[in-house]
Each structure stands twice: as structure tokens, then as C-alpha cells.
Structure 1
Amino acid sequence: MQGPTGCPVSHNAAAFDPFEGPYQVDPAEALRWSREEEPVFWSPKLGYWVVTRYDDVKEIFRDNQTFSPSIALEKITPPSDEAVETLKRYDYGMNRTLVNEDEPAHMERRRALMHSFTLEELEHHAPMVRRLTREYVDRIIDKGEADLVDEMLWEIPLTVALHFLGVPEEDMDTLREYSIAHTVNTWGRPSPEEQVAVAEAVGKFWQYAGKVLEKMRQNPDGHGWMKYAIRRQAELPDVVTDSYLHSMMMAGIVAAHETTAHATANMLRLLLENRAVWEDICENPSLIPNAVEECLRYSGSVAAWRRITVNDTQVGEHFIPAGSKLLIVSASANHDGRHFENPDDLDIYRDNATDHLTFGYGAHQCMGKNLARMEMRIFLEEFTRRLPHMAIVPQEFTFVPNTSFRGPEHLWVRWDPARNPERADPSILERVQDFEIGAPSKHDAARTVRVSEVVQEADDVIRLTLEDPRGRPLPRWSPGAHIDVIVGDYTRKYSLCGDPDDTHRLQVAILKEAEGRGGSRFIHDTVKPGMTIRMRGPKNHFRLDEGADRYVLIAGGIGITPILAMADRLKALGKDYQLHYSGRSRSTMGLLERIERDHGPRLTLHPGDEGKRLDLPALIGSCGDAQVYSCGPERLLSALEELTAHCPDRLHVEHFTATETTLDPTREIGFDVDLTDTELTVHVAPDETLLHALRAVGVDVPSDCEEGLCGTCEVPVVEGDVDHRDKVLTGAERAENTRMMTCCSRSRGGKLTLRL
């Protein structure tokens, strides 16, 4: 069998059916073969190209000029003649919406209607969400068993959606009845007989939505997105048209309702099936924002979107002709190990969980994402506080068959009402955890670990061994990874130097820095075996490329920690490597006994007091085409950058001295930033970072250190003169001017254009 471009269709591609079987149960697992072997394939059953890897899916979301969203709401199953006639009887005229509209109309309307989605406006809805959630939990709290979908999760997001839109109370019940039909009509595969019944419901939904809209026109004052849109229509009649309002009225109910209902059901099922994770959240509610984000990544409610190519293009290694339809599977992209460490682990401490593509990306990213986050956080907070002993009932989960929206139709849970915490302590009802609207803060996702061992490795160098207090496995890590160690008021980054195959212990070596900011001294003075501390990570911004033939590893002082992990890995792989380790004296060089034992034949020591200083020019001059990895003092790394300026791609370094990130408004300048993907212009004031300004308008940029050290907040630069202040980019990379770190770098003058 051949695809439309003449390429052969593999067995797996020919068998792929998104309407039944494995894809409906677990889209990411069903497409594991594709991520690993065939990331872009033609599906004969669907008549679409299917795209499954993270980078490809994100690039398609980003480029809405080449990959038009115009088919996003097109019926994926061609309607029968009877269904078409049924819809005609109701004058069904669903038009373009924010989901499926091309530029420039899309962004013009998005800008016009964005006000209701700002963080400040969304704050007003939090009390209503909290009140509704409490009322529904009150109804079931003493029952001991409930189907959370039927009795709560389906109802609350719909009520919130209708309130958000401004729908009158008396019309809410009728609109509830029609909502699900729209999903089946657009993304499902109903039989010819079912299509007529679905079309009847959709037609009634359309007509009733129009009547409610007319009622709202009579009194457009007050809260509600549709009422705001009606007021904006008076100002911009050519932008906010009648047909557009009618279509958005109907589409908005579905978008705000079903996605959040499904996402919440997926989240609760996932957490209750992973009991240890659930218990962590019950004990520490500050984990909730990141837990919600990780659940959206692991099992989000939006599994896939659709696009059509406007012109001939390339996706991965495949030529895709103009007019081709694509199913871009975000559920699969969210499990791509090329972007997410240990992607099949549910890790509520994950540092880049917000990178998930469940909300889409770019100009068409979900406008209601922060409303959904708010609802899911409040649901989870109420359940973990009031029903921490709730458990999932063994059951067979079913889903409404469709390509794109996914959540269990039922979710049965059980608990013992006699153990409800509020019976013994009614004050628990008042212990409410309020969360800031928007993406979660990196500071919330910290896990507790026990210090099982403190060993003096050298003068002013100790090695800590960390374990989970309950004996659970700790996250896997790779050479170059680090963790954030949190002790008292101090948070410091330390590279891992133990055995990556030891899943129950992590090791870091810490130098007491006399001229530091006090964190390392505090850890040396206070951390003892048996005490508990907190940590974030592991995270890896200094990754080892294992594909080279030769390596030169250079460590200065405590910079040996990531370099040792790399040497261990290269030895295990049988690679050709040299290890150079310099320090003031042998007594100051940490981990020396193990290094000499494990890497003696490859090791050259450079103790300064023995006159064996490292001759960098000679070493670099003799290393040929080897890849150079180094960590150590700034003078060492700066010298290496100068010596490899003619071949910057061979040098890989990690800094552990932060750049100066404190802003002085009297010396800084404000500047504007154009965002090409979201088509927004953002002003950055003299007293704020670019990262802060982007987040303020709802652009989620991941970050970690926010000191210019890690590279997490890197964004692509299209145009402008960047004042680079980070310690991540090399001189050659700065000269290219194609990327920047938003936490610290700025404009030297004039506007910047970023690909965001």
C-alpha cells in the first residue's frame, strides 16, 4: 500500500484507527511505535497524515500560515445526506471561531476579545468556582460512594462555562442537555443512524444558543464574555460580527466545558491510581499547581488537533503536499522522551511540566487555559483536604469515541464517611489554599528527602546522600543533571555525582565557598545525617551527547561533579575519553579516591601546589576533533571559550556562578517586543524582566534558575539588538543573535521580535 506521495504505508500505519481500540484507551501508548519509528505517517483509514513527536507538533502549532487551522472544527466523519438535511432545518450555520480561523481575521478578533481572559479578570471567578465545588462535595460527602463524572465533574465546569459566558441562570439547564452532541458531531464517528439523532441535538443547540444570545443583547451590561463581546461589537462591528458571536456562543460552551470536565476526570483517576502521589498532595497542597500541570501532560483532555497545509511543506523527513490534512497528536508529543525526562513517569515534581502541548501553542493556544487551571486546582484542593481517604473503585473505563477530546464517561470512587476529616475537626473546612492564577511557580514543586549520609570528601567539600523518607524510588537522571537543594531559606544548585542506576539514592558534593552568598556554609554547618531537606529536580541543562568518537573532560575544583558523572557514562559505553582534573591541592580535590579508582588510566591530575598546572592551550591544541566538556571556575571556562572560538560547536560548558540579575530601573531602558506566533506586542518596563512581562500577558515561558545560568527560559530571536546577560550562550551563539534568555537579557535599544 502507498500513501498519497507514493511512500509505502507500514503495517502499523495501515492499522491505525483513532476511533477504537488502543487509541481511545491511551493515545500516547497507542502511538509509542510512531514516536520511536515513524513520527510522521499516512493513515489510510483516516485519510490524514498523523504527527506524533513533540518538536514536529509544536512547529505545526507555531506556523499557522503553512498549517491552517481551518479544518479544526470540520466533521472528521463525512455527514450523511439525512444529517445534512436535518441541520438545514435548524438553519445551522456554524462559522469560523477563534479555534479554526485563519489570519489576519483570527488575531484581530482574538485581540478584541482577550480582556475577559486576563489574569486579573479571571480572579473574579475563583469564589464562584470554590462555592460550586463545595456545594457539590457537600452533596456526596456522607454517601461513601459516587460517580464523580455524573455527580460533579460534568456539572461544575459546564456551570462555570455558562457563568463565564454570562448565560442567564434560567437557560443553563437546557444548554447543558445539548453540549455533548457537538463533540460527537465534530470529532466522532457516529453511525448513519446516530448522525441524524446527533444532528437533531446539534440543530437544537444552535437554535437555542441563538435565542440566548438575543436575550443577552437586550441587556449586555454586567459580567460575562459574551456580554463583553456584544459591547465590543458596538465598537468593532466589522470584527465582532453577528455570525461570529453566534458561533462563539456555541463553541465557547463546548470549549470551556468538556475539556475541563474531561481533564479533571483524567486527573483524579490518574492520581488515585498512583496512591503515593495522591498522598504527597494530601500532605502538601502547595504541590497542587504542578500536579495539575503534570496531569495535563500525562493524560490531558485534548488528545489531538487538526490542520491542513496551505502549500507544499516538510514535516520531519516527509514531504507533505498542499491541501493535506494532518492529525497532530499532542497526547503523543507530551510523552516524547526527546523533550521530557522519563516521560512515562507521573512526576508531580517535574520541572518542565508546563511545556505540555495540551493547551496547544502559539497564536491558537487555548485562551481559557488559566480558567481551566483554576478549576482543576480548586477541585483537587477540595478533594485532597476533605476526602483524602477516597479510593478508586475497580471499573472498566469507557470514552466517547472521537479523535480529539478524551475523558472517562464515569469515574466511580469510594470512601468511609466515618473517616471524613471534617467530622473530627470542622475547622478543616476553613483551611483553604489559594493559588495564584496562571502557570505554576517553580518554587512549589519541591520534594522532601532524607539525608542518609554526610561524608567529608576533601577540605571544605562534603558529599550528601539523599533518599526518599518512605523508601520510594527517586527520579532517574542522566550525566550533567543537577538538583536544587533547599535548606532553610537557601536554594542552591548542585550537580549529581552518584550512580544513575541507583534509583533510591542521589548524591551531590558541596564546596563551602568562603566568598559565596552563605548557602553552602549554611549547608555545611547545619545538615546532618537523618534530617530532612527539600529538593527540586533532577534537571539537565548540561547534557552529554553520546554520539561522538572522542571526548576531553576538563574539571576545575568542585566542577568535577557533573564531569565525573560523564566520565562514568563514557566508560560504561566504551568511549575514548580523557579526564583532566585541576585544583589547588590534592587535599582540596573532592571525590579524588573514587576518581582515581574508576578512571585512573584516563585521568590526569593537575594539583596546583605540585606544579602540575593545566596547560589549556597545549591540551586544546592536541585534542583534535574531540568534544570538550568542562565545568569549573569562570576563568577556566572563559579561557576555553577563547581557545575554541574557531570551533565553538565542540565546547560544552556549565557555569555555576550566576550573572547579576538585579535590575536598576534608573539605568535600564524599557522596550517593546513583538511576538510572531501569538501576534502580540508586549512592553517590558525598566524594572521588570522580559520573562515577567511575557507571563503577565499569558505567554507561558518555562524557567528554572532565573539567574541566567540554566537556559530553560531560552526563546528564539527573529530580529533586534539583544543585550545578552546570561552564562549559557557562547560568544559565537551571541553573535548569531538567534536566541536569548528571557530571565536576564534585554534589548540594547529598540524593538525585539521573538518567535513566540
Structure 2
Amino acid sequence: MTIDLSTIPSTVHDVSAPATGTCPFGFSATQAAENFDPFGIEYQLNPGEALKWARENAPIFFDAKLGYWVITRYDDVQEVFRDNVTFSPSNALEKITPLTQEAQEILKAHDFNLNRTLVNEDEPQHTARRRALAGAFDTKELAHHDVMVRKLVAERIEKFQHDGTIDLVGALLYDVPLTVAFHFLGVPEHDMELLHKYSVAHTVSTWGRPSEEEQAEIASSVGKFWQLAGDILEELRTTPDAEGWMPFSIRMQKEMPEIVTDSYLHSMMMAGIVAAHETTAHSGANAVKLILETPGLWQKLGAHPELIPNAIEECLRLSGGVAAWRRVTTTETDLAGVHLPKGAKLLMVSAAANRDPEVFPDPDIIDLYRDNSAQHLTFGYGSHQCLGKNLARLELQVILQELTSRFPDLTLADQEFTFVANTSFRGPNQLLVEWDPTAVQSPPADFPEMVFNGPSRELRTRQLRIATADDSIPGIRRLVLETTDGSPLPNWHPGAHIEVEAGGVNRHYSLCGNDPQAWEIAVALEHNGRGGSRWIHENAQEGTTLSVRGPRNNFHVNKEASHLILIAGGVGITPMLAMADDAKKRGITYELHYCGKNRETLAYLNRIERDHGDHSRLHISDEGTRLNIDEFRERHAHGVQLLACGPDRLTSALLKELPNWPEDSIRHETFTALNALDTSANEEFTVEINSTGETLTVAANTTLLEALESSGHDVYADCREGLCGTCEVGVLSGDIDHRDHLLSEREKETGAKILTCVSRGKSCTKLMLNI
């Protein structure tokens, strides 16, 4: 059976074993899994889209042909990355296709012994070696490579800029990353074509499906690659004081011989040559291809080079050079309700997870202002996150700056894209482009500074114009926002909010409305607030431009819920109204409870009556119809979710009076500014950064977020009150004093994350942070 995977509608089924859920078109998820081919053209062209059916129907399924459990949802892939004890990386370089006897003999003749590297090593050896060798990847150390990379790119471009057509992979996108890799590693330049052949052979041998006839030639190339890596290593030992990561590693071996061993250096030499250029070359080709396929984007980046870092993160998310990684379970365990036996092999398809709409709304588009674009999993996550990610970002920024500024009319030529078929690394073998040689421009004298940790707060800020400012409800200003150039705004999920710069302060407002071309918020005037709402009421007029970030969502509806109880207080109606609209659209039952002092101050009453009259109830104090929380006390049941938004006194009362509700079936959000935390009893504590071993002391009068920022760690942070969740950091060990108003009790009990703006380590403890 031939299945068009891209046409399967979005439905969710509970899959607790090798996938058996039923898909809407009459075939089962098992049948779809049987047709899954990670070596086929659909997967190579777009693995995220090719596995959409799985993400929506069978997010964890067993591929009998491959012998792997395939993981496709963001939260599940992230969890596997996070727990590198239960999910060991030891099989990351294991041959997916078993070697023939002939291939094994060929490798043996070359003394091939690729052992542990940073990508496939277990703890505690992995962290010890990573910490010892990570210094060269610090952004301060990488910054000076900018000049060298730009010189290389400019030299390559000037060789072909008057030709009018070229294969960018062969002329630029493979050559530059490989040359940069040599410079970074401190390795003398070698035959580019030979190393390309060796790298492709290594990729196919490890992650591909070579035929028995192909295996002998591939094994010969891999064996020669291993010997070459050894020869280069011995050559470098004669100049241990030279620049580069490998000479640095050789020097570290003298200081830590038990950690940086001979076999480790040899393995890292071979793996480093591949890792330092192959994935960057693929990512560059994928990015150029994707940008050129998006109407108007190439020209926009040429005119606004400051947006190139944003585009790069979106390209890495949508079409990165790494599609998947592998793990193996060290014990039997459950993942998202699926039981995995000990020794189960996992293929975590980050390319599919990066299109998870629960994490990235409107996931299939490039949104240059996406608030969480840098949270993609292309570089991995946690302690095994790619060490070279920022070097790759530097190279991609320089390449796109030079290309977009020089070739404003660059287009893709007609071509059929081919790939080296494998499960994990992807990029077109060639990328034919065309341009008018007479239209080539000179690059500007200066480009924006390099961005290494994803788009900054400023780069993630949209400028939106107020299309409508409505004051028909006393004390509430309803604003409808649109882009200044008429371009569409991205979609969002119910519960999402945006952050608005309001006269020197930043305030968060829930989205409502159902116009796909605009965003709508409602702002209540807080006379005793800190000025944000007052500024909006005094200054936000039709035609005014606002600086906006988002949307982001920490107030999700459970998509598997079959009945929603929605409770709103005052202007807390905005997210509840969006949830009611969505429930009606999806055809599930719901009830909307709206609380307030009097009718005159309640927003959206006419729309509620029009769209949700049969599902809504008003609870108005002046009319004697206050909300009776007791009526919800025993209404918890499978499939029922209660969501509430309003003043803290309302949401706190609901949580206090409904103790029998399962923790994961009741969620709340407060819009009331919270009182400042009592810091009088604060004590200092220490944190350790897992990736580097750096230890920080957090003073009693300092927040963890402030300590991280002052030490050079770029942590996203917006509200700084424990409300929005943007400053979340993973925690591997240590006792947390949770002080936020966002994480659920279950999330707090796991101890796996901390909101750094307000929460702290408990006294006499050390927190191990997963960054």
C-alpha cells in the first residue's frame, strides 16, 4: 500500500505498545509504521513532515525492519536526551546495518578501532572529558574565527560570482566548513575530495543501509580514514604548542592522562573531522534551499541582515543537518505510556520533534520572530548537546550574510535533489542556483555582530500596529494588532500570551479573538499596578506601534480531554474565550463560567452570548450569583479538565477547595501582579554547570538568574516573577526551593526543572544545572 503521509489529518491516539492506533483513512498506525522508510526519498527530503502521521497518531512506534523504537514528539525526545542514564548514548555510532564478514576483515586489516567519543560515551567518563576539552568552544574563544571564516567565504564567492549559475554545495557550502574544521582543529589541510569520500563512507557505514556489494568499498574508505586520523594525530604530537582543538587536547592529555587517553584522541580525531564540517555543510545547504523556497525571504534577509540569526534558528529547526540520534535503554522503563524493555534501541527523530505544534505553533512556517526557535533539538539537548553548535552558527551567519548581500536575485535552478540515504545526517548532494551576474552587489563594510546563543530578546521583538482600540467596556481596552507590512501573523494555541513593551515595563496579555490575520488582547486598567496597563490605556491608540514578543504558551489545554470546565474572573476571560472557541471548533463538550462584580465591567459578553450562550454561565456578585466552587468538587473524571484564569484569590481558592482533583487535570493562570517574595530568609547556595563543570555561588541577595547572567550564560527571561516560564533550566540533581507560580506540583516533585528568576537551591545543597 502506498501512503501519502502528508495528508493524514491531525488526531491523537493512545499507543501503549508497538503502534496499533487507527488512523482516519481506514488503515492502522501499524500499517503506516510498516511503510516507514528512513532511507527513502520522503524521509530524506523532509523527515519532519514524513513522520507527521506518527507524531499525531503513534508518537512512539516500533519499526521491525530497523529494529528501533522511533520517537517523534518533542517532550519525549527531550526526555530521552535529558536522562542519559536510563537512555544510554552508547549506540550512537553503532552500525545500523550489520557489517558483512568481508567488511569486518577489511576494517580489521586497517586496525580500525573507533571507540568512545563525546557523542557515544556514558557517565561519568563523558562529563569528565567534555569538561576537560570544552574550553575552545566557548563563545569568547570562537569570536575571533569570524575574520577567518569571512575571508574564506569571500574568496570562494569571488571565484564564481560572475558565472550566473553554480552548485553551491561543491563551490562553497562543503569546502568552507571543511576548511574551517581544519583551522579549528589545528589540523593541516588535506585533500578535500578524499576527505569528502571518507566522510560519506563513514556516514553510510554508520547510519545508512549499504548493500553487501557496497560494504567492501565503504569499509576500505573508513579504514583508510582511521589510518589518516592516526597519522594526523602523530603529526600534531610533534607541535603540541600549536593552535587548535586537537593540539589543546594533546596538551590536556599530559595533565589528565587517565581521562584523555590515546585511543580517545584517535577516535576524536576521526569523529571530529566529520562532526566539525559534515553537519554544518548539510545545515548550510538545507538553509539556503529552504530560504529560497520561501517567497520573499531571501530579499528580506538581504535588506535586514540583523534577522539572519533568527532565520538560521528556524532553518535548523525545520531543516537541520541532523535529523535523528540514537539511544539504548539500560533498564526497562516507560516513556509517555509506552513500555520499553531493557536494551531497546531508540531512534529519536529530532526533525519530527522540531515540528511538534504543541511546542512550536504553526510549526511548518519560518517565523523570524518565533519566541522559542532556539529551543529546537537539532543540536541535541542537555549534557550531550553539540559542543560545536556555536561554531556552526558563526559559519552559517557569515555564509548567509555574504550570499544575501551579494546575490539579491538568487534563485533555485530546476533540479532533482538527491541525498546520501541514512537515518541521521541529511543535506542535498548538490544545490544548483542561478542569478544575474550583472546584478551582483558589493557586501556592506560592516555586518551585525555574531549571535551565538540564538536570537536575543531584541531580535525576537515584532513591531505591530494597533488596528483597533476599543474602550466600550469601562476600564478595559481591547486591542487588535496587525503587522506593519500586512504580512500574516503566525497561528497560536489557546492559552498563549504575548509580551508587550508598555512604557518601560513588559507585560503579558493572553491572546483571544479568531481573526487569523490579527492578534487580539484585552487590557484591564490596574490603578494600583506598576504602570503597564495605565501606559496602554493612555498611549495605545489606533495606528500606534507596539513592541511585542511571542506568542508563547504555558497554559495548555490537554488535547485528549473530552470535556472542559473553563472558569474566568474579570479580564481572565481572554484565554478562556479562546479555549471555548477551540472546544466548539473541535466538537468537544465544554462549559464556560464567567465571574465578576457587575455586568458593566465584564468584557466580551455579547460574543459569549452569541458564540457560547448554551455553554456559558455568569456568576455576578452584585446579582447574587457568585461562583459555587463546591459544585466542582466531585466532578473530576477521566477526560475532564478544569482550567481557570483570574485574580490570585480565585485561582488559589479553586486549588484549595478542590483537593480531590488529580493534579494533571486542573490548571490555572493568574493575571494579578504578585507580591514580592520574602527574601529575608534567603541563604546562599551553589550551582554547577553540567556541561563545563563551572561552579557558581548564588548570594542570598541574588537570584539564580542574575548569577547565571553575570557569568555569561544567556538564559531567556521575561517576567522575572515566576509566571511566564521562559527562564526555565533543567536540573540533574539537588533540592529545589520552588517559588514560582507556573510549574505543576508534579513537575516540582520531579525536580527536573527550575525557574531561575525566583526559585533557589535549598540551603546546604548544590544544584547540578543541565546547561
Q: Give the alignment partner of residue 589 of structure 1, picking from 599, 602, 615.
A: 602
Q: Does 1:365 align with 2:394?
A: no
For 2:576, the aligned partner's letter is I
For 1:342, the aligned partner's letter is D
2:140 alignment partner, SS class: helix
Structure 2: tracts of 5 or more residues without a match: 1-16, 21-28
Alignment of 1:332-481 (within 5 A): 332-422=352-442, 429-481=444-496
Deviation at 1:154, TM superposition (A): 0.3
Is the Cα contact below 8 Å between 1:53 and 1:336 reproduced in 2? yes
Q: Give the alignment partner of residue 17 of structure 1, picking from 31, 37, 53.
A: 37
Deviation at 1:323, TM superposition (A): 3.5
Distance 1:90 1:11 in 2: 43
For 2:98, the aligned partner's letter is P
Q: Provide the residue aligned with 2:657 in structure 1.
A: 643
Deviation at 1:209, TM superposition (A): 2.1
Distance 2:48 2:748 in 1: 37
Q: Does 1:37 align with 2:47?
A: no
Alignment of 1:644-723 (within 5 A): 644-645=658-659, 647=661, 649=663, 651-658=666-673, 669-673=683-687, 680=693, 682-686=695-699, 689-691=703-705, 705-714=719-728, 720-723=734-737
Deviation at 1:59, TM superposition (A): 2.7
Distance 1:314 1:323 in 2: 13
Q: Provide the residue aligned with 2:5 in structure 1.
A: none
Q: Provide the residue aligned with 1:187 in structure 2.
A: 207
Is the Cα contact below 8 Å between 1:648 and 1:730 reproduced in 2? no
Distance 1:35 1:600 in 2: 35
Deviation at 1:646, TM superposition (A): 5.2
Q: Does 1:577 align with 2:597?
A: no
Q: Provide the residue aligned with 1:216 in structure 2.
A: 236
Q: Provide the residue aligned with 2:75 in structure 1.
A: 55
Q: 1:178 to 1:566 in 2, by over 3 A?
A: closer
Q: Does 1:507 align with 2:527?
A: no
Q: Give the alignment partner of residue 544 of structure 1, picking from 557, 577, 596.
A: 557
Is the Cα contact below 8 Å between 1:658 and 1:727 reproduced in 2? no
1:10 alignment partner, SS class: helix
For 1:248, the aligned partner's letter is M
Deviation at 1:532, TM superposition (A): 4.0
Q: Provide the residue aligned with 1:482 in structure 2.
A: 497
Is the Cα contact below 8 Å between 1:645 and 1:732 reproduced in 2? no
Distance 1:588 1:711 in 2: 30
Alignment of 1:100-249 (within 5 A): 100-169=120-189, 175=195, 178-249=198-269
Distance 1:317 1:653 in 2: 25
| 1:14-42 alpha-carbon deviations (Å, 9 max, x no partner) | 33332233222222222223223333333
Distance 2:734 2:384 in 1: 25
Q: Provide the residue aligned with 1:492 in structure 2.
A: 507
Deviation at 1:689, TM superposition (A): 4.2
Q: 1:278 to 1:115 in 2, by over 3 A?
A: same
Q: 1:680 to 1:136 in 2, by over 3 A?
A: same
Is the Cα contact below 8 Å between 2:463 and 2:547 reproduced in 1? yes
Deviation at 1:314, TM superposition (A): 3.8
2:277 alignment partner, SS class: helix
Is the Cα contact below 8 Å between 1:399 and 1:406 reproduced in 2? yes
Range moving further from structure 2, 449-458 or 395-404:
449-458
Range moving further from structure 2, 387-396 or 109-118:
387-396
Q: Provide the residue aligned with 2:532 in structure 1.
A: 519
Distance 2:709 2:420 in 1: 35
Deviation at 1:94, TM superposition (A): 2.0
For 1:349, the aligned partner's letter is Y
Is the Cα contact below 8 Å between 2:593 and 2:619 reproduced in 1? no
Deviation at 1:498, TM superposition (A): 0.7
Distance 2:716 2:358 in 1: 17
2:276 alignment partner, SS class: helix
Distance 2:376 2:613 in 1: 43
Deviation at 1:262, TM superposition (A): 0.2
Deviation at 1:310, TM superposition (A): 3.2
Q: Provide the residue aligned with 1:26 in structure 2.
A: 46
Deviation at 1:561, TM superposition (A): 1.7
Q: Provide the residue aligned with 1:425 in structure 2.
A: none
1:301 alignment partner, SS class: coil
1:231 alignment partner, SS class: helix
Alignment of 1:612-627 (within 5 A): 612=624, 614=626, 627=641
| 1:460-495 alpha-carbon deviations (Å, 9 max, x no partner) | 322222233444332222222212234675543221
Q: 1:660 to 1:754 in 2, by over 3 A?
A: farther
| 1:197-218 alpha-carbon deviations (Å, 9 max, x no partner) | 3333323322222222222111
Tell me the TM-score normalized by structure 1: 0.88
Distance 2:93 2:666 in 1: 48
Q: Give the alignment partner of residue 330 of structure 1, picking from 337, 340, 350.
A: 350
Is the Cα contact below 8 Å between 1:620 and 1:643 reproduced in 2? no
Percent of aligned pairs sharing the same letter: 49
2:494 alignment partner, SS class: coil
| 1:46-102 alpha-carbon deviations (Å, 9 max, x no partner) | 233333333332233233333332222222223334433333343333222112222
| 1:326-372 alpha-carbon deviations (Å, 9 max, x no partner) | 32222222223343323333333322222322112233221111211
| 1:362-401 alpha-carbon deviations (Å, 9 max, x no partner) | 3322111121122222222333333333222232111111
Distance 2:738 2:380 in 1: 29
Q: 1:74 to 1:434 in 2, by over 3 A?
A: same
Distance 1:495 1:215 in 2: 61
Alignment of 1:273-352 (within 5 A): 273-352=293-372
Alignment of 1:241-280 (within 5 A): 241-280=261-300
2:527 alignment partner, SS class: coil
Is the Cα contact below 8 Å between 1:567 and 1:579 reproduced in 2? no
Q: Give the alignment partner of residue 763 of structure 2, picking from 745, 749, 752.
A: 749
Range moving further from structure 2, 25-34 or 681-690:
681-690
Deviation at 1:115, TM superposition (A): 1.4
| 1:413-456 alpha-carbon deviations (Å, 9 max, x no partner) | 2222433443xxxxx52131113422332442233333222222
Q: Give the alignment partner of residue 91 of structure 1, picking from 111, 117, 129.
A: 111
Structure 1: tracts of 5 or more residues without a match: 423-427
Distance 1:42 1:597 in 2: 47
Distance 1:726 1:190 in 2: 52
Is the Cα contact below 8 Å between 2:187 and 2:244 reproduced in 1? yes
For 1:331, the aligned partner's letter is A
For 2:232, the aligned partner's letter is V
Figure out how many residues of one structure are paired with residues of the other and give that number: 741
1:164 alignment partner, SS class: helix
Q: 1:612 to 1:571 in 2, by over 3 A?
A: farther
Alignment of 1:554-573 (within 5 A): 554-572=567-585, 573=587
2:444 alignment partner, SS class: helix
Q: Give the alignment partner of residue 529 of structure 1, picking from 542, 560, 573.
A: 542
Range moving further from structure 2, 268-277 or 223-232:
268-277
| 1:489-508 alpha-carbon deviations (Å, 9 max, x no partner) | 55432211211xx3212211
For 2:658, the aligned partner's letter is T
Distance 1:47 1:133 in 2: 42
